[in-house]
Amino acid sequence: GAVVSQHPSRVICKSGTSVKIECRSLDFQATTMFWYRQFPKKSLMLMATSNEGSKATYEQGVEKDKFLINHASLTLSTLTVTSAHPEDSSFYICSAPGRNTEAFFGQGTRLTVV
Amino acid sequence: GEDVEQSLFLSVREGDSSVINCTYTDSSSTYLYWYKQEPGAGLQLLTYIFSNMDMKQDQRLTVLLNKKDKHLSLRIADTQTGDSAIYFCAESRGGGATNKLIFGTGTLLAVQP
C-alpha cells in the first residue's frame, strides 16, 4: 500500500531555534498534504493544508508565520516550526490523500522544546 | 476536533465485545473513518464507511452509521489485549475523498486480561 514517511520521528530543540519536519509520499504523488497537531491526551487538530506549487491554507487560529509550510514537489511537504517555544512541544503528524478514500498518515514527529 | 465527540474511556474484559461511539456534526460528510493509535505511534486506519451505508463489517469490526442522528459506532468482537489503544473517529470535510479529516476526541480502550 501507499506509504507516507515522516522525518524525524523525535526531535529535541532549544527555545528560539527552528525545526523542520519532512513528510514524503514514497510511492505516489500528493498534490495535497495535511498537517495535524496532537496535544497530550487530546485529539488531532488540523493545522493546515499543504498545496503543491501554491500557498498553504491554514486553519483558523494557526499562525502561518510560526508554522511555515512548503510543498515544493509532488512528494514532499515540509513544516518548519520557527522560533520554537516550549508550548510548541507536541506530536505533529502529516497525511496525504490516497487515490480513493484512504488518507495515509506519517509516523508522526514528537517535538520537545526545552 | 471538538466538533466530533467521543466518550473518553472504555474498559472491557478480553473476549468481550467493545462498542465505541462517536457523534459528528457535518451532515455533508461523505466518509467516516475509524483510526487506531497505539502509544507513541502514528495512526492506523481500521475501517471506513461511506455515508449512504448503514453498516459495514470487516472481520472483527462492525461499523454502524445512523445518519439521521449523526451517530457512528465501532464494535470490536472478541476484544484482545492487543486492541488496547486510542480509537479516533473522523469525518471527511470538503467533499469526496479530499481527506481533510476532522477527528473526534478519542476513546481510550483498555482491555483487561
Which residues have C-beta within 8 Å of that of residue B2, sequence separation ≥ 6?
A43, B105
Question: Is residue B20 within 8 Å of residue B10, measured between CB atoms?
Answer: yes
Low-confidence ranges of chain B (pLDDT < 50): 1, 97
Interchain proximity B48–A101, CB inside 8 Å: yes
pLDDT computed for residue B98 by the predictor = 56
Interface of A with B (CB under 8 A): 6, 32, 34, 36, 42-46, 49, 93, 95-98, 100-103, 105-108, 110
* Chain-chain contact of B48 with A6 (C-beta, under 8 angstroms): no
- Confirm if B63 and B34 have CB atoms less than 8 A apart: yes
Number of other residues whose CB lies within 10 A of the CB of residue B96: 10
Per-residue model confidence (pLDDT) at position B99 = 64
**Cα angle A106, A49, A11; round to 5:** 40
Q: What is the pLDDT of residue A101?
A: 64
Pairwise CB contact (< 8 Å): B100 & A107 = no
* Closest by Cβ to A34, choosing from B41, B42, B100: B100
pLDDT band at A68 (very low <50, low <70, confident <90, very high): very high
Q: In angstroms, what separates the C-alpha of B34 from chain A's closest C-alpha?
A: 11
Task: State how far the alpha carbon of A37 is from the alpha carbons of A52, A108, A112, B23, in Å.
Answer: 20, 9, 13, 21
Res B94: pLDDT: 62
The reply to whether residue B1 touches residue A101, judged by beta carbons under 8 angstroms, is no
Whole-number average pLDDT of chain A? 91
How far B104 CA lies from chain A's nearest CA (Å)?
6
In angstroms, the separation between the Cα of residue B78 and the nearest Cα of chain A is 26
Q: Does B95 touch chain A (CB under 8 A)?
A: no
Bridge-partner residues for B35, per DSSP?
B45, B88
In this structure, which amino acid lies at residue B32?
L
The C-alpha of A14 sits at a distance from chain B's nearest C-alpha, in angstroms, of 22
Chain A residue with Cα closest to B44:
A105
Does A19 have pLDDT greater than 80?
yes
pLDDT value for A41: 73
- Output the pLDDT for position A17: 97
**Partner-chain contact A97 B99, CB within 8 Å:** yes
Confidence at residue A83, expressed as pLDDT on a 0 to 100 scale? 97
